[in-house]
Amino acid sequence: MSAKSDALEQAVTDWIQARTALENAPGARARANADRAFARLAALAAPRIRYFTRVYGLSDVAEDAEQVCVIALHRAAERYDPARARFTTYVNWQLRAELQALRHRLHGDQRCAGRRQAGTTLSLDTLVDDGADGWLVDPDAETATERAAADELAGLVADRLAGDWAERRRKALLRTAAAPERVETRVAAERALVRRHLSPVDIAAERLRESDRHIVRRALADMIRHAGDKPH
C-alpha cells in the first residue's frame, strides 16, 4: 500500500479511538479530540474527494459534492471494520456511491438509463443496510496474501543460505590452489543445485546422482552448523 493509503488507515484508526473515548467519557476535551481526528481524516481524504468529483463530472457543483462526500466519509468511518477490508477500499465505494447519486439527482446518468427506468439504482449504503455487500470482500484474499508473503520470505532465506554456503565453498576450493575460473564455474553449478533443494516444490520430480546427493547433504550440514553462528 502507498504512504497515502497508510496515512488514511492510521487516521481512521485514530478517529475510531477518539470516538470511543468520547462515548466512554463524554466531555469537551474528548469532543475536541474527536473533532480534530475527523478533521485530519477529512484533510487526508480531500484529494480523493476532488478526484472522484472530477471523474463524476461534478466540478461545477464542487461544494455540494464535498458535502455529500464528507457525509459518506463519516458514515464509512463509523461502519468501518478493519477485518473485512482496507479503509481506502471501503471509503472509495462510499464516495463513489454518493457522487453517483448526486449526479443522478442533478444531471441524470445516461450510462445507467436502463437501470434507472427499472428503478434499480442502489447506493452502497443500501447494499450495506441489506447485508448485500459481501461481494466487496474476497474471503480468500488474506490467506492468499499471507501465503505469498511466506513463500517470498522463504525464498529470500533460501537465497541467503545458499549464497553464504557458496561463498564458504568458493574460499575452501581456492585454498586448494585450484584454478579460479574452474572454481567459479563449479561453485555456481553447486549453488544452483543446492538452492533448488531448499525449495521442495522445485525438487519434487528431480532424481539426483550419488555425487549430487553428496553435495546437497554436505551443504545442508554446513548450513545447519553455521545457522546458529549469526542471525539471518
pLDDT at 1: 53
Give the mean model confidence (pLDDT) for residues 115-143: 52
Q: How far is the C-alpha of 62 from the C-alpha of 54, rounded, in Å?
A: 9
Give the mean model confidence (pLDDT) for residues 127-136: 50
Query: Is the CB of residue 15 less than 8 Å from the CB of residue 37?
Result: yes
pTM: 0.46
Q: How far is the C-alpha of 9 from the C-alpha of 227, rounded, in Å?
A: 38
**pLDDT digits over 158-199, tens only?**
888 889 999 998 888 888 866 888 888 888 988 888 888 887
**pLDDT digits over 72-112, tens only?**
999 888 888 877 778 888 888 889 888 888 888 887 644 44
Q: How far is the C-alpha of 166 from the C-alpha of 51, rounded, in Å?
A: 52
Q: Which secondary structure element, helix H or strand E, spans residue 196, and what is its range?
A: helix 180-196
Asked whether residue 30 carries a pLDDT value surpassing 60, the answer given is yes
